[in-house]
Amino acid sequence: MAKIGFIGLGIMGRPMAKNLMKAGHELVVYDLNEAAVKDVVAAGAKAGANNKDVAAQTDIIITMVPNSPHVKAAIFGENGVAEGAKKGSLVIDMSSIDPTVSKEVGAKLAEMGIRFMDAPVSGGEPKAIDGTLSIMVGGSEEDFKEAEPILRAMGTSVVLCGEVGAGNVTKLANQIIVALNIAAVSEALVLATKAGVNPETVYKAIRGGLAGSTVMDAKAPLMLDRKFDPGFRINLHIKDLNNALAAGHSTGVPLPLTASVMEILQALAVDGMGGLDHGAIVRFYEKLAHVEVKRG
């Protein structure tokens, strides 16, 4: 079993850290939120004084923070990972960030003799708790072989997607598809409702055909039940699509549908719904059509 540093004990990071300990790994953890640190320490972890201290005590360091600037601060900021990490250490960033930043971080760490992988996750808090996340990895095959058993303590699907940055490119592709799926389901069920057809019946009729999807099965029932408590917040999906659009612009790939859904999400955030689940995209269409999708 490995001695692992874990930085970032938020909604996702906390259960992920606990699953590593359940698998028998020893953890040294740090987060600005002292309550989160105390909770994970109570489960068996050791608290580090700061990011530098965590890195100094471990050979594998996982970061799970909100976005690109937070990753840079955790690794290269004052008392950051880079100050404490030994040569040959492996830093695994499991945050969902701009892939160009992953490449930048990886290159800078490589100059210091520190290895790096990006390994963003999909599945939200429920799968983080269950340890059934999908993990998309960018890095060398050698580093992946070393890290795979550790990652499998947190996820059931662990796939090497390519070199550093490929993990976050894959995650952005995932987030584009999820957002567009939710928007399509919303648009269709609002049409059904306004046309006088029971949206629940429409969902049941089409879910087994070509239109069926994991996204529809996850979100349509929640729309029909008017349940918009966050599994994955609109504000977080805005962050991911911002990164997707930035990646598209930097690589010369127009993303017109992504941009359209981004504006829907922005409108919902302006309307005070940024903290709701992204299934609340249906509420944007409902407002336009003056109907409400619900069970008959």
Please pick, among 38, 171, 204, 227, the residue that the annotation labels catalytic: 171
3 tagged catalytic: no
Question: Which residues on neighbouring strands pair with residue 92, listed in sequence order?
Answer: 62, 117
Per-residue burial over 5-30, b = 16 or more CB atoms within 10 Å of its CB, e = otherwise: bbbbbbbbbbbbbbbbbeeebebbbb
Rounded Cα distance between 100 and 105, Å, is 9
Closest CA to 26 of 153, 123, 198, 135: 153
Distances (CA, A) of 163 to 87, 122, 136, 166, 204: 20, 19, 11, 6, 41
Is residue 165 helix, strand or coil? coil
Rg (CA), the chain: 20
Q: Where are the alpha helices (DSSP H) in 31-84?
A: 34-42, 51-57, 68-76, 81-84
Is residue 20 helix, strand or coil? helix
Closest CA to 31 of 62, 68, 76, 69: 62
Angle at 163 between CA 159 and CA 166, to 5 degrees: 65
**Which residue numbers are catalytic?**
171
